[in-house]
Amino acid sequence: MYGNDFPGEDAPGGLLGEVEAAEAALRAAAERGRAAAEPGSDLAAYFAEVVDADQKIEPRDWMPEAYRRTLIRQIAQHAHSEIIGMQPEGNWISRAPSLKRKAILLAKVQDEAGHGLYLYAAAETLGVSRDELVDLLLDGRQKYSSIFNYPTLSWADVGAIGWLVDGAAIVNQVPLCRCSYGPYARAMIRVCKEESFHQRQGYEILHTLAHGTAAQKAMAQDSVDRWWYPSLAMFGPPDGDSTHSAQSMAWKIKRFSNDELRQRFVDMCVGQAEALGLRLPDPELRWNDERQAYDFTQPDYDELMRVIKGNGPCNRQRMEHRRRAHSEGAWVREAAAAYAAKRAVKEKEKVAA
């Protein structure tokens, strides 16, 4: 089981257990009564009460404007990440080492597109249109995860992305299955169920390489060396510097702090790296008996800020590719719309006749 076993929660074990527990909690919370079952005149109090009861806020409920804006920003950024995230892996589809690996990678990249679409749909329930969201990404006014601005230089990177990048994403995303906004929580449950395949396929690629020839093992090690710190940086700046955290925690959009999740991820990876026979590139990594957790070297947050600001190794390439794909797909959208319009006219004529 490569999933994350969170201490203190007695789920059936692993990632899928966590997701199922979140799903069960969602149902249980929906059945629990609250003191005031209906929204009275005080909408803000009603909102707070629903959130406090761990129930879900739904699209047509009243919500604070800042809650709506925070969710749109977060869900859109998440959706953009899934869409841009197809590029580094898509880079290896034509060069996958076997037909089996190629079919699996195709399925995985298709899943990423699907995850982007679930999330765009969840964002749209907050009153923003798909067109606006696409424009925000293409104009660079909304971000995507900094991790996708790093290049995939070898086949082993496809493995490292699955194991470390998807692994970090899962640690981030499993708590989002319990987010207070219903459509986001439900989308995340779908996403997480599919992500566990992604993480395992990545781990399997690395395991195969690490137990292959010396050159293959070196390729796997090089890949882990390059992806480890960027993956740690995926959890965002340290708690002290994180601007949105406190309010998001109060609204139960976010359940754990950046540093807590980063620690979970490190603790989870150490044993998995041992099983691979690969080394995590951190000489300071060691068990701390007092904290019952691993001590580790923090990622370079200045580098994270540089990449977020647009100066990572692949930022320009990723955005150019996305813009080109969007404009080259214009004729497909136009043709489909023209065909739909023509058919609608014909249908109308048929009804009139």
Partner 1 sequence: MSRQHTPLWEVFVRARRGLAHTHVGSLHAPDAELALRNARDLYTRRQEGVSIWVVPASAITASSPDEKDAFFDPAADKVYRHPTFYEVPDGVAHL
As given in the structure block, the two tokens for residue 313 are 């190794």
Question: Which token pair is 138?
Answer: 């293409």
Residues in region 12-31 near partner 1 by CB under 8 A: none
Of 135, 241, 274, 320, the one binding partner 1 (CB under 8 A) is 135
- 39 near partner 1, rule: CB under 8 A: yes
Which has the closest alpha carbon to 8: 227, 264, 229, 303?
264
DSSP 20-41: HHHHHHHHHHHHS--SS-S--S
CA of residue 332 relative to chain centroid, distance = 28
Q: Is 320 in the site for partner 1 (CB under 8 A)?
A: no
Query: Counting contacts by CB under 8 A, is residue 328 touching partner 1?
Result: no
Using CB under 8 A as the binding rule, whether residue 110 contacts partner 1 is answered as yes
Q: Is 112 in the site for partner 1 (CB under 8 A)?
A: no
Which residue of 66, 249, 339, 345 would you call a contact of partner 1, by CB under 8 A? Answer: 339
Beta strand ranges found along the chain (DSSP E): 286-288, 293-295
Using rule CB under 8 A, residue 114 touches partner 1: yes
Out of 10, 31, 38, 328, the residue judged to bind partner 1 by CB under 8 A = 38
With beta carbons less than 8 A apart as the criterion, state whether 62 and 39 touch: yes
Candidates 32, 60, 100, 141: give the one binding partner 1 (CB under 8 A). Answer: 60
Q: Of 69, 336, 345, 348, which lies in the binding site for partner 1, with binding defined by CB under 8 A?
A: 336
Look at residues 10, 250, 205 and name the one whose alpha carbon lies nearest to residue 108.
Answer: 205
Q: Indicate the residue among 59 and 277 with the shorter CB distance to partner 1.
A: 59
Q: Which amino acid is at 14?
A: G
Please report which residue ranges of 161-294 form alpha helices under DSSP H. 166-173, 182-210, 214-233, 245-250, 258-276
- Out of 5, 49, 194, 259, the only residue in the binding site for partner 1 (CB under 8 A) is 194
Please, what is the minimum distance in Å from the beta carbon of residue 340 to partner 1? 4
Question: Does position 132 bind partner 1 by CB under 8 A?
Answer: no
Given the DSSP bridges, would you call strands 293-295 and 286-288 parallel, antiparallel or unpaired? antiparallel
Residues that bind partner 1 (CB under 8 A): 38-39, 58, 60-62, 107, 110-111, 114, 117-118, 121, 124, 130-131, 135, 138, 186-187, 190, 194, 326-327, 330, 333-334, 336-337, 339-340, 343-344
